[in-house]
Amino acid sequence: MTERDLILADGTVFRGEALGADIQAMGELVFNTGMSGYQETLTDQSYNGQIIVFTFPLIGNAGINRDDYETITPTVKGVVVREAATVTGNWRSEMTLDAYLREVGVPGIQGVDTRALTKKLRTVGTMKAMLVDHADDAAATALKDAQLPTNQVLTSATTMPYPVPGTGKKVVVVDFGLKQSILRDLAKRDCNVIVVPPKTTAAEIKRLDPDGVMLSNGPGDPKDVSSALPMIRAIEGQIPLFGICLGHQLFALANGADTFKMKFGHRGFNHPVREIATGRIDFTSQNHGYAVAADSVDQNTLLITHEEINDHTVEGLRHREYPAFSVQFHPDANPGPHDADHLFDDFMDMMTTFAEQRKEAATHA
């Protein structure tokens, strides 16, 4: 096997064996604690520009199949694993992890002590990193001087609107880098979906006459997507609104709250979340490096509905006046536990109730 090095921004070097594409790559180094779902993770646009460290020691044993993509063109920069399986054991498998990474042009490294690497990231936080054939002073200098991009949403989201036909409620999904599993959950509920680009205006959305609007997940810092805030302010109160992950953070910013960069984020499928009103615990799928600052939430405008049990970060918000709510985690959870799948049904009920109230108001006008 060909040797490959992983250089961290602090100068640490991890040596291993080459995996995937034979190219050099640079990105933000993050870790994912999921024990399954590596294909969905690799194709999740929320990892745009990042190098993923998988904490589970064996990755790739089920191969890659045609059904579990979250997007067709991955934007992840690199992959770090303890061991990449060379033999697959699933009847749907069409290729190995190594073959897939080569096909899509993503480099990786295996044979790395991912436990030690994860402990380091938990201690000092996520950082820039670089995959190279051989670590040297030139590569270290290039890594130190590099500035990571801040336009991940624009390179993840659709540039043109497109429909996902259905016979039920019309839902406009604002794409900031959405997962296909969100569209699958809406399709299960017979929604007639129109996916629109991230810079779509409120006026353009209203012309589509939707029953509801969904703000999707996506990569990067929500403050880099400030162009969406006027749209959200103009939509909420007039059309039922549901935000997921980045959509949740944008919903918070639009209503006066603040966000901050977390030390190492939440990435995995085993994050416990408490619904504050009921005490209900859901295990959730999460992938984010930013969070809503609890002390910045105006309690007269937004109600904090959910919190992460481990670090007590804000996991859910609901507008006190308008039919609008958001969650930091992924209720679509593909892969992951489906404890929070009911939130899509809550969104459906919200749209139905809002339509009935509007109809009744028109009758009495």
Return the pLDDT at 190. 98
Residue with tokens 């549901």, as numbered in its chain: 242
Q: What does the pLDDT average to over 355-361?
A: 89
Q: Is the pLDDT of residue 172 over 80?
A: yes
Q: Residue 46 annotated as binding?
A: yes
Looking at 3.40.50.450, 3.40.50.261, 3.50.30.20, 3.30.700.30, the CATH number of the domain 3-145 comes to 3.50.30.20
Q: DSSP 3-state assignment of 122? A: helix
Q: What does the pLDDT average to over 39-52?
A: 97
Return the pLDDT at 333. 84
Q: What does the pLDDT average to over 225-237?
A: 97
Q: Residue 180 annotated as binding?
A: no
pTM score above 0.85: yes
Indicate if 332 belongs to the active site. Answer: yes
Q: What does the pLDDT average to over 59-78?
A: 96
Q: What is the CA 251 to chain-centroid distance, rounded?
A: 15
Cβ neighbour number for residue 360 with a 10 Å cutoff? 10
C-alpha–C-alpha distance, residues 36 and 33, integer Å = 9
Beta-bridge mates of residue 242: 214, 325
Return the pLDDT at 91. 95
Q: Which amino acid is at 123?
A: T
Q: Residue 186 annotated as binding?
A: no
Q: What does the pLDDT average to over 3-8?
A: 97
Q: Which helix (H) or strand (E) holds 352?
A: helix 342-363
Indicate if 364 belongs to the active site. Answer: no
Q: Residue 218 annotated as binding?
A: yes
Percent share of the chain, pLDDT over 90: 95
Q: Residue 100 annotated as binding?
A: no
Q: Which of 98, 282, 332, 339 is catalytic?
A: 332
C-alpha–C-alpha distance, residues 35 and 268, integer Å = 8
Q: Which of 98, 288, 330, 339 is catalytic?
A: 330
Looking at per-residue confidence, does 244 or 333 come out higher? 244
- Looking at the domain covering 162-363, what would its CATH class be? alpha beta
Return the pLDDT at 336. 80
Instruction: Read off the pLDDT of residues 211-224 as tens digits, 9 standing for 90 and up.
Output: 999 999 999 999 99
Indicate if 330 belongs to the active site. Answer: yes
Phi and psi at 230, nearest 5°, equal: -60, -35
Q: Which of 68, 185, 245, 248 is catalytic?
A: 245
Segments making up each domain of the chain, as ranges: 3-145, 162-363
Q: Residue 246 annotated as binding?
A: yes
Asked if 3-145 and 162-363 have one fold, the answer is no
Return the pLDDT at 40. 96
Contact 156, 196 (CB under 8 A): no
